[in-house]
Structure 1
Amino acid sequence: MANLNLNQYLREIQSSWQSRSGTEVSELLSFNHPHVMSSKLILEGFEKSVERIVEAPFDEIVVLHLRCLSYINQQKYLEAYTEQSALVQAFTKLFQTQKEDNWALFIMYVISLDLRMFAIKADKELAKKGADKPGQTLEKAAECLMGLFRVCAADNRSSDEDTKRWGMLYLVNQLLKIYFRINKLHLCKALIRAIDASQFKDQFSLSQQVTYRYYVGRKAIFESDFKSAEKYLTYAFERCHKNCRANKRLILIYLIPVKMLLGHLPTPQLLRKYDLLQFSEVVQAVREGNLRRLNNALLQHDAFFIRCGVYLILEKLKVTTYRNLFKKVTLLMKTHQIPIEAYLEALKFMGVEDIDLDETQCIIANLIFENKIKGYISNSHNKLVISKQNAFPSLAAIV
C-alpha cells in the first residue's frame, strides 16, 4: 500500500465504492491507512485521472482527499483542514441522497475523526502565528460535524437496520471532545438530550457508549451533580476494555475525586495499579481529618491536578476533612455536648490560621446544613449538641 501508484489507488477506491463497501472506502480515505505513505499518489494534474476513473459525484471527495494529503505531506495543516472540511461537506450532501441506506457510515466515521485531528493541528499552527482566538478551527469543525449529525438524526423513515441514526453517537462523541477542548460545555446539552431520547441509546457499540458516558460524567462534575457523575464514570470505567489501561486511568482521574466526595476512598492498590499516586496523600489526609496534610498534598501536586481539571473538586474535600476531624474530636470528648472551643483548638493544631470562634461555628453550621453532622449549636452555651444516634452519618448515605 505504501508503494501504491495513483491509478492503482483510484481503481481500488472506485471498485470499493461501486461494491458499496463502506469499510474499504473508509480505509482508503483514512489518514491512518498505509496509502498515505505513498509518494506516487500526488502527481501534477491528478484531478484529470480522478475524473476519468472515479464516478461522479464521488470523484469530488477523492480529489479533496488527495489535495488534503498533499498539504499534510508539506505539514500545512491549515490548508489540509480546509480541504478536509470541504470533503466532509461534499460527503454530507452525497450521504443525504442515499435514502434508506447506511453502508457509508464507516466513511463518515473516518472523515469526521480526521477533520477533528486536522482542526487541532491547524489551531496549533494558528497559535504559533499569534492567533487571538484559540480553538477557532475546532469551532468551525464542530459546525461541519453538526451538518452530518442532522442528516443522521433526521433519518426516521429507514428501517432500524438501515437507518443512519446508528451514526449519531459517534458524531456526538466527536463533538463532545471538541466542546470540552474549546470550553463550550453549554453546547453539549442538546446533544446529550438527543442521545437520551434515542431508541438505540443502549444498543450503540460499547466503546462509543464508554466514551459518551465518560464525557457526560465529566459534564456532571462541572454541574456539581456528583451522584450522576459517579454513575456515568463508573459505567465507563467498568466497561472500558481491560487492555485500554491509559483510558481506564483517564476515567479514574475524575472518578476518584467524585467517589471521595461521596465518601468512598480508593485503595492504595488501585492507585498503584493505575499510576495515580498523586492522590495517595490526599486520600490519607481526608481519612485522618488532617487539614495540614491535605493542603500540603494539594500544593505538592497542584500542577497535575490543575492540568487534569480536578483541583477545585479536591478543594471541596476540605469540607469532608473538617467533618472527619470534628468526628475525631467528638469521640475524644466522649459527650454529646462539645464546646466549640474544642473544635477551634483542633483547627489551629491542624495549621488553620487566623480562625476564631465565630468562623468555627460557621464551619459547623455548614456541616449541619449539609447533613454531615446531626445536631445543633447552642449559642447560649457555645456548644455543639450532637445526636446521640449516628451523629456523623456515612457520607455515602447523605448525597
Structure 2
Amino acid sequence: MATGSLNQYIQFVERVYRTGQGNILARLLSLRDEHVANKNLRSSDIASLVEGNCVAPLDEIVVCHLLCLKALHMYDYMEAYNSQSHCVTAVVKLLQNQKEENWCLPLMYTVCLDLRLVAQKAEATSPQSNGKILEKAAESLLACFRVCAADNRTSDDDTKRLGMLNLVNQLLKVYFRINKLHLCKPLIRAIDSSPFKDQFPLAQQITYRYFVGRKAMFDSDYRSADEFLSFALENCHRKSSKNKRLILTYLIPVKMLLGFMPSKALLEKYDLLQFWDLVSAVKNGNLRGIDQVMEDHESFFIRAGIYLIVEKLKITAYRNLFRKVYLAENSHQIEIASFQAALQIMGQEDVDSDETQCIVANLIYDGKIKGYISYQHKKVVVSKQNAFPPLSSLY
C-alpha cells in the first residue's frame, strides 16, 4: 500500500479486519510500514472519507492513524502523540468488544509501540514536559493491559492474557526512561503470578528479564539481578551483539560485586574495556586506581545509570586490600596501623586510625570480614576459619 488512493487503503483495511487477519491489520496501521510514505493518505478530509466505509470502532482507529501520519509529516509531534493516544483508546474499545477472541493482539502491540515512540519524540521536542507526556502514554498502555489481564478464559489459544508481557515490556521501558521504577512492582507481580509466564515468546521474556534484572540491581538484590540478566544474556540471539553489550553493561558490575571478574577478551569483544582498569583496581585493592577509572569513564557510567553501583565496588576493593594485609601478616590478630598503612599506600594518604577502624567495622557488619575490633589493643581479631568469606556467599 505504498501507492494507491485513500479509498483503496480504507477498503483494504476493512477487508482485512472482516477476515480477522491480525498481523496484516497491524502492519496497515503501523507508523513504521511503507504505506506511511503514500501522499494520498494525507487527505484534508480524512474523517468524512473513513466514516461510512468502516465499522466502529475500526473507523475511529483508521481516522486517528491517518491524522497521526499527517501530523508526523508536518513534524508536529505533539499533535501526532494526541492522535496516536486516541488510536490506542479506540483499540481498547475494539478489544473489549471482542469477548471470545484475541486475533487483534498484533494490532494492540503495534499501536502501543508506536505510541511510546511518538511520545518519546514529543518529549524530545517539549523539554518543559519533563516526562509528563510519557507518563500519560503509560496510562494509555495500562488501559490495554487491564483489558488483557481481565480476560479470565483459561484457553491458551484465544485468551488476551497472552498479550500482557508485551505491554509490560513497553511500560517498563517508559518507567525506566522517566525514572519511576516504583511503578514496575505491580507489573512484575502480575507477570510472575501469570499461568502463562512460560508461554510468552522468548524474545519478550528476554526483554522482561533484562529490565527486571536492572531493577533488582538498583534494589541491591544482586543475586536476583545476576539470575535475570544472565538469563537475558544466555538466551539473546547470538548475532545480537548490540543487545548483548547492553545486557553486559549491567551484568558485569553485578558479577563483580559477587566476586566474579570478567576476562579482558570478553570486554574487548563487546567494546566494554571501560571495565578493564576497574577490574584490575578492584582485584588489587587499588583505591587510587578506582578513583582514576571513575574519573576517566564518568560519562559512560552515568549515562548507563551504573555510577553508584560501580562506586560500591570500592567496598570490594577495601576487602581485597585488607585480605592482602591479612595474608602478608599471616596472623589472626592484625594491628589497625597495618590496615591504615595499606590504605595510605593505595592513595588515601590522609586516612587516620579512626577512619580505618570505621572502614573495618563496616566490612565486618557487611559480613565481608569475620571478626571483631579490639579497641583496647587497637587490633582486628579475625576468624581462624574463612576470615574473608567469598563475596558470592554474601548476597
Fold-level similarity (TM above 0.5): yes
Cα distance, 1:52 vs. partner? Answer: 4.2
* 1:145 alignment partner, SS class: helix
Q: Does 1:173 align with 2:136?
A: no
- Structure 2 equivalent of residue 392 of structure 1: 388
- Structure 2 equivalent of residue 97 of structure 1: 97
List structure 1 runs of 4+ shifted beyond 6 angstroms: none
Q: How does 1:215-294 map to 2 (within 5 A)?
A: 215-294=211-290
RMSD between aligned residues: 1.2
* 1:381 alignment partner, SS class: coil
- Structure 1 equivalent of residue 297 of structure 2: 301
- Structure 2 equivalent of residue 182 of structure 1: 178
Q: How does 1:41-190 map to 2 (within 5 A)?
A: 41-127=41-127, 131=128, 133-157=129-153, 159-190=155-186
Q: Does 1:23 align with 2:23?
A: yes
* 2:39 alignment partner, SS class: coil
* 2:320 alignment partner, SS class: helix
Cα distance, 1:11 vs. partner? Answer: 2.0
Query: Which moved further from structure 2: 77-86 or 353-362?
Result: 353-362
Contact 2:333 2:381 in 1 (8 A): yes
Contact 2:46 2:67 in 1 (8 A): no
Query: Which moved further from structure 2: 159-168 or 100-109?
Result: 159-168
Q: CA offsets per residue over residues 93-124 of structure 1, 9 Å max, x none?
A: 12101011000000000000000011111111
Q: Does 1:344 align with 2:340?
A: yes
Cα distance, 1:59 vs. partner? Answer: 1.3
- Structure 2 equivalent of residue 375 of structure 1: 371
Question: What is the letter of the counterpart of residue 104 of structure 2?
Answer: A
* 2:40 alignment partner, SS class: coil
Question: What is the letter of the counterpart of residue 59 of structure 1?
Answer: D
User: For the residues of structure 2 that align with 1:115 and 1:227, how far apart are their CA atoms?
Assistant: 34
Q: CA offsets per residue over residues 293-334 of structure 1, 9 Å max, x none?
A: 111111110111011110100111111001111111111112
Q: CA offsets per residue over residues 266-290 of structure 1, 9 Å max, x none?
A: 1111111110011111011011111
Contact 1:4 1:35 in 2 (8 A): no
Question: What is the letter of the counterpart of residue 325 of structure 1?
Answer: L
User: For the residues of structure 2 that align with 1:340 and 1:223, how far apart are their CA atoms?
Assistant: 33
Contact 1:282 1:297 in 2 (8 A): yes
Contact 1:2 1:35 in 2 (8 A): yes
Cα distance, 1:89 vs. partner? Answer: 0.4
Cα distance, 1:2 vs. partner? Answer: 2.4
User: For the residues of structure 1 that align with 2:375 and 2:186, how far apart are their CA atoms?
Assistant: 49
Cα distance, 1:161 vs. partner? Answer: 1.2
- Structure 2 equivalent of residue 6 of structure 1: 6
Q: Does 1:203 align with 2:199?
A: yes
Contact 1:101 1:158 in 2 (8 A): no
Count how many residue pairs are aligned between Structure 1 and Structure 2.
395
Instruction: Note the residue ranges of structure 2 that are not aligned, 5 or more in a row.
Output: none
* 1:40 alignment partner, SS class: helix
Q: TM-score normalised to the size of structure 2?
A: 0.97
Contact 2:50 2:63 in 1 (8 A): yes
- Structure 2 equivalent of residue 359 of structure 1: 355
Contact 1:88 1:144 in 2 (8 A): yes
User: For the residues of structure 1 that align with 2:202 and 2:327, how far apart are their CA atoms?
Assistant: 48
User: For the residues of structure 2 that align with 1:353 and 1:92, how far apart are their CA atoms?
Assistant: 64
- Structure 1 equivalent of residue 319 of structure 2: 323
User: For the residues of structure 2 that align with 1:44 and 1:327, how far apart are their CA atoms?
Assistant: 75
Cα distance, 1:41 vs. partner? Answer: 1.4
* 2:179 alignment partner, SS class: coil
Q: What percentage of residue pairs aligned between the two structures are identical?
A: 57
Q: TM-score normalised to the size of structure 1?
A: 0.96
Q: Quick one: which of 209, 213, 221 aligns to 2:209?
A: 213
Cα distance, 1:48 vs. partner? Answer: 2.9
Cα distance, 1:4 vs. partner? Answer: 3.1
User: For the residues of structure 2 that align with 1:47 and 1:331, how far apart are their CA atoms?
Assistant: 80
Contact 1:326 1:343 in 2 (8 A): yes
User: For the residues of structure 1 that align with 2:223 and 2:336, how far apart are their CA atoms?
Assistant: 32
User: For the residues of structure 2 that align with 1:158 and 1:331, how far apart are their CA atoms?
Assistant: 61
